[in-house]
């Protein structure tokens, strides 16, 4: 069945460091791919998405490219801020069902 | 756009009582809503898919008589935890679909004493 694998956290970075959170997937067909972010005590917020191969999703300085050849959707940001500290979930699917990765906790220190 | 609300944001109840959680899509209509459960420091577990005007579809292992779902309109789905017990304490999150994307509510923390 379809699945999502994320790098284990926590990821601890200093402010202004470069961020990469790896995400790979297994899927039949061509699902949409998503990154969601969850701040402490809150629900999930859609961060970015890509609906087909080679699409790049971007938002708030975060980017991820839908790579069909490597079945990956890695999340990147050039310069993280303390306010980016949260849990990041990679997911595949869309309107009918989402399959989530385990989540990666990011902690950014000043 | 695509705002989803949940009410209440937190609730504490006694064991054996029932608790209702509402999920509303505020600025769009959603024929499909989803209910998830999240344990501390874990990912989301899909409990059920709620379709407007029809019975909900429950995931394997989720007791449909314990977690009653009603999707009475295109903007409202409710989850009722019946005869709640301490093991039902959790963070419950709903989502609503718009086009090909799910938008999530802020979650409801349920504590059963």
CA distance A29 to chain B (A): 15
User: Are B93 and A43 an interchain contact pair (Cβ–Cβ within 8 Å)?
Assistant: yes
Rounded Cα distance between B29 and B92, Å, is 21
Asked whether residue A77 carries a pLDDT value surpassing 90, the answer given is yes
- The fraction of chain B above a pLDDT of 70, given in percent, is 100
How, if at all, do strands A11-14 and A104-109 pair?
A: parallel
Rounded Cα distance between B87 and B113, Å, is 10
A7: contact with B, CB 8 A cutoff: no
CA distance A63 to chain B (A): 18
Please choose, from the candidates A78, A73, A80, the residue with its C-alpha nearest in 3D space to the C-alpha of residue A101: A73
User: Are A44 and B101 an interchain contact pair (Cβ–Cβ within 8 Å)?
Assistant: no
A53: contact with B, CB 8 A cutoff: no
User: Are A94 and B104 an interchain contact pair (Cβ–Cβ within 8 Å)?
Assistant: no
Question: What is the tens place of the pLDDT at every residue in B33-80?
Answer: 999 999 888 888 899 999 888 889 999 999 999 999 998 899 999 999
How high is the mean pLDDT of chain B? 93
Q: CA angle B71-B103-B48, nearest 5°?
A: 40
CA distance A110 to chain B (A): 24
Categorize the per-residue pLDDT at A73 as very low, low, confident or very high, splitting at 50, 70 and 90.
very high
User: Are A43 and B106 an interchain contact pair (Cβ–Cβ within 8 Å)?
Assistant: yes
């Amino acid at each position: 069945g379809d699945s999502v694998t994320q790098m284990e956290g926590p990821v601890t970075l200093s402010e202004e460091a470069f961020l990469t959170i790896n995400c790979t997937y297994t899927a039949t067909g061509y699902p949409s791919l998503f990154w969601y972010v969850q701040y402490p005590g809150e629900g999930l917020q859609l961060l970015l998405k890509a609906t087909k191969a080679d699409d790049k999703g971007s938002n708030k300085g975060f980017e991820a490219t839908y790579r069909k050849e490597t079945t990956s959707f890695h999340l990147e940001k050039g310069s993280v801020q303390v306010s980016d500290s949260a849990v990041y979930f990679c997911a595949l699917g869309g309107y009918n069902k989402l399959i989530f990765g385990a989540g990666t906790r990011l902690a950014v220190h000043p | 756009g695509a705002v989803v609300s949940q009410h209440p944001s937190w609730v504490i109840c006694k064991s054996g009582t029932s608790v209702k959680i509402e999920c509303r899509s505020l600025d769009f209509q959603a024929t499909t809503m989803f209910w998830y459960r999240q344990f501390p420091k874990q990912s989301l577990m899909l409990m059920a898919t709620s379709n407007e005007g029809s019975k909900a579809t429950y995931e394997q292992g989720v007791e449909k008589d314990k977690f009653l779902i009603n999707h009475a309109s295109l903007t409202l789905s409710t989850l009722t935890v019946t005869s709640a017990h301490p093991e039902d304490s959790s963070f419950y999150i709903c989502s609503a679909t718009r086009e090909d994307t799910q938008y999530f509510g802020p979650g409801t923390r349920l504590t059963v004493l």
